[in-house]
Amino acid sequence: MLSFRSGLLALLLTSALASAADDPHRGWQVYGGDATSSKYSSLTQINRENVTQLKPAWIFRTDDMTTRPASTIECNPIVVGGLAYFTTPGLKLVALDAATGQQRWVFDPWEGKGGRGVNRGVTYFNDGQSGRIFYPAGNFLYAIDAKTGELLKTFGRDGRVDLREGLDRDSYFLSVTATTPGIIYQDLLILGSAVGEGPAPSAPGHIRAFDARTGARKWIFHTIPYPGEFGHDTWSPDSWKTVGGTNCWGGLTLDAGRGLVFAGTGSAAYDHFGGNRIGANLFANCILALKADTGERVWHFQTVHHDVWDYDIPTQPNLVTVVHDGRRIDAVAQVTKTGMTFLFERETGKPLFPIEERAADHQTDVPGEKLWPTQPHPVKPKPFAQQRFTTDEVTDLNPAAREFVLQRLAGMKTGSTFTPPGTKPSVVLPQFNGGAEWGGAAFDPATRTLYVNSSSEAEWISMVPAKPRADVTLNELGRSIYGAICSACHGAEKAVNPNAPSFTSLKSVKERLTREQVIQLLETGRNQMPTFASFTPLERRAVAAFLFDEGNDEHLATKDLKPSWAGEIPWVATGHNEFRDPEGFPVNKRPWGTVTAINLDTGEFRWQVPLGTYPALEKRGVPPTGTFNMGGCIVTAGGLVFTGASMDERFHAYDKDTGKTLWEFQMDAGGYALPATYEINGKQYVLIAAGGGGKPETKPGNAYYCFALP
């Protein structure tokens, strides 16, 4: 880590700007820029005319990057009182001088023992006397003194709250954390969660508010309704006892004046089988408006009924103001993994553009499954990501690639966004990661334009029985359990899963751990890994045998094969499987990633341009193709849209009115994070994490790049 340099200059540079207090859009004190998630800045010092002069003002490098597995940084820094606060690949919390990059302090939740996970930001709270930073690591929510970096022992138990507690259901042996920060309303910290999504038992994703001073739970909203609560009849009778997920993992937004907090929720667990949760499943996949002081529901809208695709709402709703039918309306805009944009009146939830319930493919050959017959589609705006994959959408990059894909498709099911998974491989477009993702959208209040980066790459999925066939070896049983349970995080065949790259590859686990240690970890869990205490001793031994390439000669009796999870979830997915041409490029037509500007007054696109490119194709003279992207956009009054996100590892600035690329900077790793921009002593800075790794599976990085004009 960089060392702290004291002195008069550092003292001057840490002073907070008075102008930031007058105009919150001149600073970046909240994840996403402000409580409405506008991701907008009124700063104009960096603008269309001079953005080509941007240079790194400082670069801060962390000390806990890893290559096996490839670590990542997805954190959107906040800047308060001249200090920038953010997390490292290993989830340490760092405070540094936002003008010079000089480190002030570091907090390590693991106390030197090392840890892992994903963090996208932190929350600042001032009680009128001092400031504190809230952030989760592992199963705990920490409260840190913003000035010193010390644990605030009066919060929770010795400075932290165990997020597994207070869920109105026993979740102690399950994983409950939060990847996206909470939001402050008065003296409440309102927080969503990240929970397990696989076929093994997982915690419910109920939304909670905590006392920001003491850590005590003040209210809870049951996203899987209890008996007597609204929405309970949209599930199987006992779902509230056993089903997990339906969690708000993408963050929250706040209308403080109206006292309303807004959330988007994910799918119910297990992601790809819903035979144990027959019905529409409120409040999974919902936009929720809740009373911020009590957690009471004001209105909701469900964007996917009975989700079996993992089409979570991945990001905060944007609170916007639009002109509709000649009048200004405070509204809520929600972008989704499916590439759709929903727009509602903020107080009532009334759609501003028509939303049609269209017939969906609800035929499935998975026993016990019962799909919903329709799915909602907004008439406007049109989708910003590709919505179907048939032979007409097959790549035209070159004849060989096209022929290869056509041959593969002969054994697959193709169709629309809502083609259901079944025993035959089916193609999904957009893929399970979007469309839009957790970076969300940025809103320019001056032009009432929404900017969203998105991906359009196909993947495939299929379903198989969870219960292994009879007469298997110990190794084969372990392979079956691994495929059903572990591959959701660790990937098929013990490789890193591109959809959960922060988890460790298990290909070399026998070089790091003993067989007995693996079995013990399955029982106890560690860091992000939940306990699998529900596994039988035979199942834990079988997983270890598979990981250690043993057990091929040990045959098991049929009576011993009673998977602990197969009663609730008898069918499981083979994974979120990449679909690529022989050169490794996506199988559908370009563009594969875009930035789209949407006029929210009219619902029409202002422009759409590719985001990123493949250098190998660039060398052949192929125009920018766009790439899979993770991160987000910010927009400024200087006429600029900034985003990293793309696999070419470049930081981009676009003209917000035309989409023209005005500036690019080649970083040493991908910027899979939301940027921030702020002003200190009259100088504007733009800051982004270049952590690489992540779901795009590029090389890891360890840097935060801060740019300014010379």
DSSP-based three-state secondary structure for 692: strand
CATH architecture classification, 467-564 = Orthogonal Bundle (1.10)
DSSP 428: E
Mean local confidence (pLDDT), 304-314: 97
**Whole-number mean pLDDT of the chain?**
91
**Would you say residue 515 has pLDDT above 90?**
no
- The whole-number average pLDDT for the span 43-61 is 98
Q: Which is higher by pLDDT, 401 or 9?
A: 401
Alpha carbons 182 and 190: distance in angstroms, whole number: 5
CA distance 401 to 112: 49
Q: Give dist(CA 77, CA 565) in Å, integer.
A: 40
pLDDT digits (tens, 9 = 90+) for 385-416: 999 999 999 999 999 999 999 999 999 999 99
pLDDT at 626: 98
Task: Give the model confidence (pLDDT) of 601-648 as tens digits.
Answer: 999 999 999 999 999 999 999 999 999 999 999 999 999 999 999 999
Instruction: Kindly indicate the confidence band of residue 505, based on its pLDDT and cuts at 50, 70 and 90.
Output: low
Q: How far apart are CA 641 and CA 636, in angstroms?
A: 7
Mean pLDDT of 25-40: 97
Report which of residues 499 and 30 the model is more confident about.
30
Question: What is the CB neighbour count within 10 angstroms for residue 526?
Answer: 12
For residue 70, what is the DSSP state? B
Average pLDDT over every residue of 359-368: 92
Separation of alpha carbons 361 and 680, rounded Å = 54
Tell me the helices (H) and strands (E) count for the chain, helix number first.
Answer: 10, 45
pLDDT of residue 452: 98
> What pLDDT is stored for residue 17 in this prediction?
38
Q: Summarize the confidence of residues 285-299 as an average pLDDT.
A: 98
Q: Tell me the pLDDT tens digit for each residue of 172-205.
A: 888 899 999 999 999 999 999 999 888 888 999 9
Candidates 438, 472, 392, 480; CA nearest to 72 is 438
Please give the share of the chain, as a percent, with pLDDT higher than 90: 77
pLDDT at 586: 97
Handedness of CA 434, 309, 136, 491 (dihedral sign): negative
Model's pTM, two decimal places? 0.91
**pLDDT (0 to 100) of residue 2:** 40
Q: Provide the 8-state DSSP code for 25.
A: G
Query: Is pLDDT at 558 greater than 90 in this prediction?
Result: no
pLDDT tens-digit readout, 108-117: 999 998 888 8
pLDDT at 163 over 70: yes
pLDDT confidence band for 21 (50 / 70 / 90): low
The yes-or-no verdict on residue 476 having pLDDT over 90 is no
Q: How many CB atoms lie within 10 A of CB 228?
A: 6
The answer to whether 703 touches 636, Cβ cutoff 8 Å, is no
Q: How far apart are CA 693 and CA 689, in angstroms?
A: 12
The pair of three-digit structure tokens given for residue 614, joined into one six-digit string: 């493949």
Q: List for the chain the helix, strand, coil content (%; round to 5).
A: 15, 35, 55
414-451 confidence digits (pLDDT tens)? 999 999 999 999 999 999 999 999 999 999 999 999 99
| Residue 5 pLDDT | 35
Instruction: Assess contact for 606 and 635: CB atoms under 8 A.
Output: no
Which residue is associated with the tokens 């010379």? 710
Q: Which residue in 202, 181, 199 sits closest to 190, CA to CA?
A: 181
Q: What integer is the mean pLDDT of 466-485?
A: 79
Confidence of residue 22 (pLDDT cuts 50, 70, 90): low
pLDDT band at 472 (very low <50, low <70, confident <90, very high): confident
The closest alpha carbon to 592, from 457, 452, 498, belongs to 457
| pLDDT category of residue 15 using cuts at 50, 70 and 90 | very low
Q: Using 50, 70 and 90 to split pLDDT, how confident is the model at 11?
A: very low
pLDDT above 70 (res 501): no
Q: What pLDDT was estimated at residue 7? A: 38
* pLDDT tens digits for range 312-340: 999 999 999 999 999 999 999 999 999 99
Residue 588, pLDDT score: 97
DSSP string, 614-626: -HHHHHTTPPP--
Query: Could you give the CA distance from residue 406 to residue 656 in angstroms, rounded to a whole number?
Result: 38
CB 468 within 8 A of CB 455: no
